[in-house]
Amino acid sequence: MIPLLIALAGGTGAAARFIVDGVVRSWARTALPLGTIFINLSGSLLMGLLAGLVMAHHAPESLQLILGTGFLGGYTTFSTASLETIRLVQSGRTGLALLNGVGTMAGCVGAAAAGVGLALLL
């Protein structure tokens, strides 16, 4: 049953990513892929929070499988962030590419750590 729930959650996460990216892109028109950045930062924060809840025994591991691997796995997107960084380099926007690539990675690690820390405070 868990594999089916992971698959359903993954599809839901991918649909949520599509919607959130469209909303962010409609609010901010810039060469920097703010939709993908927001998605990866928020997904990392939520993954950290979920992992922290499981570590503190406030949530079952099955929830991390379903929501973490499934929903958040479908919601976040490292491959799109990588491709958008390459496109920025190709268009001569090296500074934005560096900000997107390095900034997103550092921000996501920080967001995941903040999520774990927050969960452990509960």
User: pLDDT, tens digit, for every residue of 62-115?
Assistant: 999 999 999 999 999 999 999 999 999 999 999 999 999 999 999 999 999 999
Which positions ≥6 away from 74 have C-beta within 8 Å?
9, 10, 11, 12, 13, 14, 15, 16, 17
First-last CA distance in the chain = 30
Are 33 and 99 spatial neighbours (Cβ–Cβ below 8 Å)?
A: no
Question: What's this model's pTM, rounded to 2 decimal places?
Answer: 0.94
Tokens 């990216």 correspond to 21
Render pLDDT for 2-48 as a digit per residue (tens, 0 to 9).
999 999 999 999 999 999 999 999 999 899 999 999 999 999 999 99
**pLDDT for position 76:** 98
